[in-house]
Structure 1
Amino acid sequence: MKGSYLVQVGLAYGAAVASLAVLNRRTSAVANTSLINTLANAAGDHEDIGGNASNALSAIVAQLQQAGSITAPDSVEEALATLQQAVPDGPASTTDVAEAIAEAGLVPADILSFLNGYMDSELNSVQNTNPAPTQTIYPSKGPDDAPYSVPEQSLRAAIYIPETFGYGRNGKTPVLLVPGTAIPAGTTYHYSFSKLGDGAPVDVVWLNIPHASLSDAQVNAEYVAYAINYIAAQTNHSLAVLTWSQGALDTQWALKYWPSTRPAVQDFIAISPDFHGTVVGTLACPALTYLICTPSLFQQAWNATFIATLRSDGGDSAYVPTTTIFSAFDEIVQPQVGPDASAHLGDIRGVGVTNALVQDVCAGQPAAGFYTHEGVLYNPLAWALALDAIAHDGPGSVSRVDLKRVCAQVLAPQLGLGDVLGTEGLLLVAVAELLAYQPRNTGEPAIEGYAANGSRAGR
């Protein structure tokens, strides 16, 4: 299997950790700094992360500082071929993979400039000023909704609404973008689905979950549940929810335990989801004396109590029309092939589910090539099925998509070379966020009472 990105960070650091007390000296404040500075500061902290990790980070920083003199690929095809060659075969730490990508020229100066400033970017703000909802949705919208633990003002402030958003008055379908682990939504989707509205009748907003979704996924789900009902109330329109990675777990949890969200969601589109967790997740949270994992990484292991709770009582099936799109070459979520694919969701409620493995649907064609966990964000089939789902009742349908045209492409036509490079460069942001996160945990958070006690909301 190709080298793992995010999940391998914990392995690289865990082997070198001396104690949690040492780790707790690291600052959790990342504002008013830069990605390169964060990586450089961590590289100099041998005591916290160990010499090997420090050396790898130093090499990454050196490569990034030379980004302006490195020749980037000239085409999407060249970029994807270079990526496949750069990602190591077999186990590899995140820092090793990041170094290989930087050295291969896959992070040119213009892309790096954007990523370097992500910490202070308005696009990733969790302090947005949004008006009070037009109907009561807090402390609950429905009698079976789980209780919130986060104040309403904080839940609402995490929703980023672009100035161009039409609030349903322009006839466009609202689309809520929910991020994955370790990368804020504004940065996650900048080079991909934030552009979904270019030429399509959709209006995109996104949710910047605090701490880059590294904290308790149960709390992350509160932000999703609130955002769904808030956008539906403000637009007087049902919406599509498009997620990446952990965002699918957060959304499925929200749909399960806040059932008032279900009528508000016309489509759930999950890119590279891990509904079954991942067997690779154990590498991020190894059974070591000193653990340096984050809550939501613990919760995404295949044997996590969070995953078992989510999938219990019918949570392994869709609550709303759902389209999942995933790749066999996913370096973070495994397995992603066969009946046990982590992305697979059942349909016991008969709401409609499409589970699309790009290597199956487009077998032997360009769109079935080497797409990483993050690469599915620019895969042409993913875009085609997402737009098809939004345009029709029910999930995206392979039978409605022009597979001859779509599968012959290597990139969604709405995107370009810079979007491929920018999306793969997200790895650098993930490393920075994982370095900065505090406090570290020694196990996954306890299941909230509303879920542990078999709340009616779970039905």
Structure 2
Amino acid sequence: MYSLRSACLLFPLFLSALAKPAASVSSVETRGFSDLISNLESSLEAVGYLAQGITQDVTLLVSALRDVQDGKIDPVTTLEEALGSLGNVRNASDVGLIGVAIDVVTNGLAPKNILDLVKGLTNEPLNSMNNDNSEEPSSPIFPKKASDDAPYSLSEEELRKTIYIPDEFQYGANGKRPVLLIPGTANAAGTTYYFNYEKLLSESDFADPVWINIPGNTLADIQVTAEYIAYAINYISGISQDTKIGVIAWSQGSIDVQWTLKYWPSTRDSVDDFLVISGEFHGSLSAEPCLVQNPLCTPAIRQQGYDSNLIKTLLAEDGDSAYVPTTSVYSGIDELVAPQVGPNASARLKDVRGVGVTNTQIQLACPGLPAGSLYTHDPMLFNPLVYALFVDALTHEGPADLSRIDLDTVCNQVLAPGLVLTDLLGTEVEVYVYNVIDFMSFGYMGSSEEPPIKDYARISS
């Protein structure tokens, strides 16, 4: 259901065995490649007696990383090679996330300059959750912007400081519409989008990216995550001449935003486009990492299950229909969200409110062509058809219209125009290699129970 589902089965064993958790990789300003390998190696002895298979997987990953460092693995040099290498990466549901990380490295998708490649991870401000946002919105949005908004359990200071506004942000001027980027489970927005939508949108003449870094890397209660998003939507609009903004959400972010739009109705007046990558509005039937109690079976992971109380509550009262113009794009071979094909695909939304919805499975739009080929859950972040549809939505009224897309051109592209091989590799390494290491260090030590539904939602459901 998200890029680190398999890790949640593996890393509780590491964390419980380590006397002192290592510092988070993403919180360290500069870190040598050897240090990262040593971080993995130091975990092996501690957990070796717990799980032979896990120890073996981590040993293989360490060996592969050292082979990269020593020049024993030839990196891919062309987009065509990269696409072929993606096809050699095994399914995470079969081999686990460490197995996928091994495949990424051994198939040349993690070149020798891996540290430079993911410099966004070591750029601490990018993922800052303590930002100084002194600009006041045009009208008050706290404690409520509208009387029927759900109440906040967090303070305005807590909500506002997680919003990251780049220095180049133009506050709705010069025809650049603000676009708020929402991360997925166990990911910080700054690094998730560093090699894709931060670059694509900042270099465009129609969009201006900002993002929100959720405390706890969105592992905690989705209902609380929605509070950060609700505030951020109205805040960014309110400091940008009340411009209606776009919102891009990946993976779990789709649920987070849909919950926000349902229970903070004022946000619907601030959003003109909801753009979804690898969404899971209906949860997932994929094997859950919460079959047994463990420290990393987090609230957010439980809430994403197909039969969770949160999903049932979200979908009630036409919550399976869009609240604002919505463009949802997904892959039929998504290895983490299921089902993701046919009319019951988890990423699909209905349109009972008549606001406009486009649901696009890339394999049906680009059958047998590069843009509709080997893109699974995470590679959708650099898929050319996804970006073409988002551009169309952001530059027209309503959701994207597939008939306006030059499919002869777009379907034969490997990457969204504006991205290069380095961006593909950066996204892959960030998601599959660095996030494994970072997640091991970060962890989640709260309750693994599904949180109760908030009073405001129980009343409506």
Q: Secondary structure at the match of 1:399?
A: helix
- Conserved? CA contact 2:76–2:108, under 8 Å: yes
Residue 150 (structure 2) aligns with: 146
Taking the aligned partners of 1:289 and 1:231, their CA distance within structure 2 comes to 39
Q: Is the 8 A contact 1:28 1:437 kept in 2?
A: no
- AA aligned to 1:450 is Y
Aligned to 1:439: 445
Q: 279, 282, 306: which is aligned to 1:273?
A: 279
Q: Aligned residue pairs: how many?
A: 447
1:338 partner letter? G
C-alpha distance in 2, partners of 1:36/1:219? Answer: 35
The equivalent of 1:121 in structure 2 is: 124
Task: Tell me which residue corresponds to 1:6.
Answer: 4
How far off its partner does 1:124 sit?
0.8
| Cα shift readout 1:10-51 (whole Å, capped 9, x = no counterpart) | 33457x69xx9x479664852448655554443343079633
Deviates more, 1:85-94 or 1:224-233: 85-94
Partner of 2:220: 215
* TM-score (structure 2 length as normaliser): 0.90
- Structure 2: which amino acid aligns with 1:310? L
Q: What's the % identity of the aligned pairs?
A: 43
Letter in 2 for 1:382: V
**Inter-partner Cα distance in structure 2 for 1:127 and 1:48:** 40
Q: 1:120 to 1:367 in 2, by over 3 A?
A: closer
Listed as ranges, the matches of 1:35-74 within 5 Å are: 36=37, 38-46=39-47, 50-68=51-69, 69=71, 70-74=73-77
**Rounded Cα–Cα distance in structure 2 between residues aligned with 1:399 and 1:267:** 18
Q: Is 1:230–2:235 an aligned residue pair?
A: yes
Is the Cα–Cα contact under 8 Å of residues 196 and 204 in structure 1 kept in the other structure? no
Instruction: Measure how far apart 1:225 and its partner are.
Output: 0.6
CA–CA separation in structure 2 for the residues paired with 1:305 and 1:48: 37
Match of 1:312 in 2: 316
Counterpart CA distance in 1 for 2:118 and 2:49 is 25
Map of 2:454 onto structure 1: 448
Q: Is 2:364 the counterpart of 1:366?
A: no
Pair 1:105 & 2:108 matched: yes
State the Cα distance separating 1:65 from its structure 2 match. 3.4
Residues 426-435 or 71-80, more deviating: 426-435
User: Following the alignment from structure 2 to structure 1, what is the Cα–Cα distance between the partners of residues 141 and 49?
Assistant: 44
CA pair 116-45 structure 1, distance change in 2 beyond 3 A: farther
Gapped regions of structure 1 (runs ≥ 5) = none
**1:328-371 C-alpha deviation (Å, 9 max, x unpaired):** 12111111100110100110100000000000111122211010
Most deviating of 398-407 and 104-113:
104-113
In the alignment, which residue of structure 2 is the partner of 1:430? 435
Letter in 2 for 1:404: D
Q: 1:66 to 1:112 in 2, by over 3 A?
A: farther
Looking at structure 1, the residues matched to 267 and 367 of structure 2 have their Cα atoms a distance apart, in angstroms, of 36
| Counterpart secondary structure, 1:356 | strand
* Closer/same/farther in 2, CA of residues 351 and 90 from structure 1, 3 Å limit: closer
2:196 corresponds to 1:192 = yes
Residue pair 1:367, 1:380 contacting (<8 A) in 2 also? yes
SS of structure 1 residue aligned to 2:391 = helix
Counterpart amino acid of 2:7?
Answer: V
- Structure 2: distance between partners of 1:168 and 1:116: 29
For 2:205 and 2:367, the matched residues in 1 are separated by: 27
CA contact (8 A) 1:111 1:421 kept: no
Between stretches 320-329 and 71-80, larger displacement belongs to: 71-80
Superposition deviation, residue 248 in structure 1: 1.0
Report the AA paired with residue 59 of structure 2.
S
- The answer to which of 48-57 and 318-327 deviates more is 48-57
| Aligned residue in 2 for 1:403 | 407
Residues 45 and 54 of structure 1 are in contact (CA less than 8 Å); yes or no, is this contact kept in structure 2? no
In 1, distance between residues paired with 2:211 and 2:3?
Answer: 24
Query: Which runs of no fewer than 5 residues in structure 2 stay unpaired?
Result: none
What CA distance in whole angstroms lies between the structure 1 residues aligned with 2:45 and 2:144? 47
Cα distance in structure 2, aligned partners of 1:419 and 1:133:
35
User: Contact (CA 8 Å) 2:222, 2:303: kept in 1 or not?
Assistant: yes
Matched-pair contact (CA < 8 Å) for 1:87–1:101: no
- In 2, Cα distance between equivalents of 1:193 and 1:413: 11
Query: Judging changes above 3 Å, is the alpha-carbon distance between structure 1 residues 257 and 378 closer, same or farther for their aligned structure 2 residues?
Result: same
Equivalent AA in structure 2 for residue 212 of structure 1: N
Q: Render the CA deviation track for 1:274-311: whole Å, top value 9, x for unaligned.
A: 1011111x33211x255641111111111111111111
Contact residue 13 and residue 50 of structure 1 kept, 8 A: no
TM-score of the pair, normalised by structure 1: 0.91
The corresponding residue for 2:331 is 327
Q: Tell me the distance in 2 between the aligned counterparts of 1:327 and 1:241.
A: 20
C-alpha distance in structure 1 between counterparts of 2:366 and 2:78, whole Å: 21
Q: Match for residue 259 of structure 2?
A: 253
Provide the secondary structure at the position in 2 that maps to 1:169.
coil
